[in-house]
Structure 1
Amino acid sequence: MTTVIRQVAPVNTYALLSCAMGPCLFGTAFLAIQSLPAAPLWNAVCRVLPAGLVLFAVRPARPEGIWWARAVLLGMLNFGGFFGLQAVAAHRIPGAVVSTISAAQCIVVPLMVMTTGQRLAPRQFLAPLLGLLGVGLVVLRGTTRLDLMGVGAAATLALLSGTGMVLTRRWGVPPSTAPLSAIAWQMLAGGLMLLPLAMLLEGEPPSLSPHQLLATGWLALAATAAAFALFFGGLLRGVEATTGSRLILLGPVVAVILGWTFAHQSLTIVQLAGISLVLAAQFGGFEHYAGEHAWPRVAWTFMAQRARR
Structure 2
Amino acid sequence: MKQKPGVNSGYMIGVALLSVYLFWGGTYVGMKVAIETMPPFLMAGIRFFTAGAVLYVISRLSGVKRPVGREWRSSAIVGALLLLGGNGLVAWSEQRVSSSIASLIIAAVPVWMMLFGWFGRSGKRPNTGVIAGIVLGLLGIAVLVFQPGQGDTGTATDLTGIITLLIASLSWAAGSMYSRSARIPDSPLMSTAAQMLTGGVLLIAFSYVTGDWSKLEVSTISLRSYAAFGYLVAFGSIIGYTAYIWLLKNADASLASTYAFVNPVVAVILGWAMVGEQLTANTLAAAVIIIAAVVLVTLFRSRPQKTGTQAALDIQNQQQSIH
What TM-score, normalized to structure 2?
A: 0.67
Residue aligning to 1:3:
none
Kindly provide the amino acid, as one letter, of the partner of residue 199 in structure 1: Y
Matched, 1:217 2:254: no
- Alpha-carbon separation, structure 1, partners of 2:130 and 2:150: 31
Residue aligning to 1:202:
212
How has the CA–CA distance of structure 1 residues 66 and 46 changed in structure 2, closer, same or farther, with 3 Å as cutoff? closer
Aligned pairs for 1:182-193 within 5 A? 182-193=191-202
More moved, 271-280 vs 135-144? 135-144
Aligned pairs for 1:53-202 within 5 A? 53-60=53-60, 61-91=65-95, 98-99=102-103, 101-114=105-118, 115=120, 117-119=122-124, 120-131=126-137, 133-134=139-140, 142-143=148-149, 150-171=161-182, 173-174=184-185, 177-200=186-209, 201-202=211-212
SS in 1 for 2:33: coil
Q: Name the % identity.
A: 24
CA contact (8 A) 1:137 1:273 kept: yes
Kindly provide the amino acid, as one letter, of the partner of residue 78 in structure 1: L
User: Structure 1, residues 266-300: CA drift from partner, whole Å, max 9, x if none?
Assistant: 55666555444444334423234249xxxxxxxxx
Kindly provide the amino acid, as one letter, of the partner of residue 191 in structure 2: A
Residue aligning to 2:239:
226
User: Structure 1, residues 128-183: CA drift from partner, whole Å, max 9, x if none?
Assistant: 44345457768986336777755543332122110111223444753xx4201001
Q: Deviation at 1:94? A: 5.8
- Alpha-carbon separation, structure 2, partners of 1:147 and 1:220: 28
Matched, 1:251 2:257: no
5+ long unaligned stretches in structure 2: 152-156, 305-323
- Alpha-carbon separation, structure 1, partners of 2:243 and 2:122: 28
How has the CA–CA distance of structure 1 residues 288 and 98 changed in structure 2, closer, same or farther, with 3 Å as cutoff? closer
Residue aligning to 1:25:
23
Kindly provide the amino acid, as one letter, of the partner of residue 267 in structure 2: A
What TM-score, normalized to structure 1?
A: 0.69
SS in 2 for 1:289: coil
Q: Deviation at 1:184? A: 0.6
Residue aligning to 1:51:
51
How has the CA–CA distance of structure 1 residues 169 and 106 changed in structure 2, closer, same or farther, with 3 Å as cutoff? same
- Alpha-carbon separation, structure 2, partners of 1:271 and 1:156: 20
CA contact (8 A) 2:20 2:240 kept: yes
The count of residues paired between Structure 1 and Structure 2 equals 276
- Alpha-carbon separation, structure 1, partners of 2:245 and 2:80: 15
Q: Deviation at 1:185? A: 0.4
5+ long unaligned stretches in structure 1: 1-8, 292-309
CA contact (8 A) 1:55 1:184 kept: yes
Q: Deviation at 1:70? A: 0.8
How has the CA–CA distance of structure 1 residues 76 and 235 changed in structure 2, closer, same or farther, with 3 Å as cutoff? farther
- Alpha-carbon separation, structure 2, partners of 1:265 and 1:206: 27
SS in 1 for 2:149: coil
- Alpha-carbon separation, structure 2, partners of 1:267 and 1:148: 18
User: Structure 1, residues 39-97: CA drift from partner, whole Å, max 9, x if none?
Assistant: 11222123211111121122124212421221110111111222332344345566555
CA contact (8 A) 1:130 1:277 kept: yes
SS in 1 for 2:234: helix
